[in-house]
Amino acid sequence: MSAAPSASSSRPRSGSASKPKPPKYPFYLGGVAACFASFATHPLDCIKNRMQTSRTKQGMWGALTDTARNEGMGGLYAGLTASLLRQMTYSVVRFGAYDSLKAQIRTEDDGPPSKPLPAWKLAACASVAGAAGGIAGNPADIILVRMTSDMNRAPEKRFNYRHALHGVYRMVSDEGFSALFRGITPNVARAVLMNASQLATYDFFKHSLLHTGFYEEGTWLHFSASFLAGTVATTVCSPADVIKARVMSGNGASGGTIAKLQKAVRTEGIGFLFRGWTPAWVRLSPNTILIFITLEKLRLLIDVAREKQGLPSARNPHPVADVADTEKRS
């Protein structure tokens, strides 16, 4: 008859058992939130691309009214299918990879998941995730730029894509498979800058505002942090965004990225790198706000659903019997 295990042997040894990790949110959640935001801000994205690819200087409101007058309201939603395809590739990868990298890079010295990572770690995770997202979303980004800026081209030179998948098919059949990676250098550079200046700064601003004592977890905190992150991201990304739009709007007949940049600086001046900043900010700021508020609400819904089933959630790794307090956080 074997001896019963002692009390000391039944306890987990120090260092042998780690604290249970909170369950992760679905990888695709960021892409879903980004798609929702795209429906609201796509007209501004369309105008921004047209201003960036145009060789004439026109203000945002002039471009907006001209498009509405000449093409109707449908013209403001040109390329919407490409925008949604872009979010389900680029945004799914960048948000999912960012959250995954943050979890992997965290050490015991960084504290529990509720404590923010150091700024340099947030920036590093966001940059790597942004590069991955830029590569994944490059084909859809090309189609988006072409579909939104097609009206800037002469009628006989327009692409006339019916929808995003038709654009991908036409681009591969007419220009070859390598066309899917056209402009990938400025696009990846922009994606790295965007993630570092949007996702990382959102986390930074969120935790910083929360610790001022004037904010508590909720919509107003998410709104303020995302507004600040959107403004920073617009300014940081503007030069790469303009270059990317110029390269992707072409069909390969002219020179590469450096040649296009040199020609544009000679003919238009260095200020062209910030052309379209206003519509970019008007678009990106509410887009960022919508993405993060939607993302936070989706996360809350998942947490509440898990806790109602008696399962651990990311916000509360220990199941609770009463979820009333959790629901109040919305």
Q: How far apart are alpha carbons 171 and 275 in whole angstroms?
A: 27
Integer Cα distance of 180 and 227 in angstroms:
33
**Which token pair is 116?**
């923010």
Q: Give the containing element (helix H, strand E) for 66.
A: helix 60-71
User: What's the pLDDT score for residue 20?
Assistant: 55
pLDDT at position 7 is: 45
**What are the pLDDT digits (tens) for 272-329?**
777 778 877 877 888 899 999 999 999 999 999 988 888 888 777 776 544 455 455 5
As a whole number, the mean pLDDT across the chain is 84
In the block, residue with structure tokens 């977890």: 217
Q: What is the pLDDT of residues 191-240, one digit of tens each?
A: 999 999 999 999 999 999 999 989 999 999 999 999 999 999 988 888 87
What are the residue boundaries of the structural domains of the chain, listed by start?
24-305+316-328
How many residues comprise the chain?
330
pTM above 0.85, yes or no: no
- 13-44 pLDDT tens trace: 444 445 556 678 999 999 999 999 998 889 88
Residue 311, C-beta contacts closer than 8 angstroms, at least 6 positions apart: 23, 319
Q: Which amino acid is at 70?
A: N
DSSP code for 179 = G
Please say whether the dihedral angle defined by the alpha carbons of residues 239, 96, 22 and 17, taken in this order, is positive or negative.
negative
CATH number of 24-305+316-328: 1.50.40.10
| Model pLDDT, residue 17 | 46
Report the alpha-carbon distance of residue 63 to residue 300 in Å, rounded: 39
Higher-scoring residue by pLDDT: 58, 160: 160
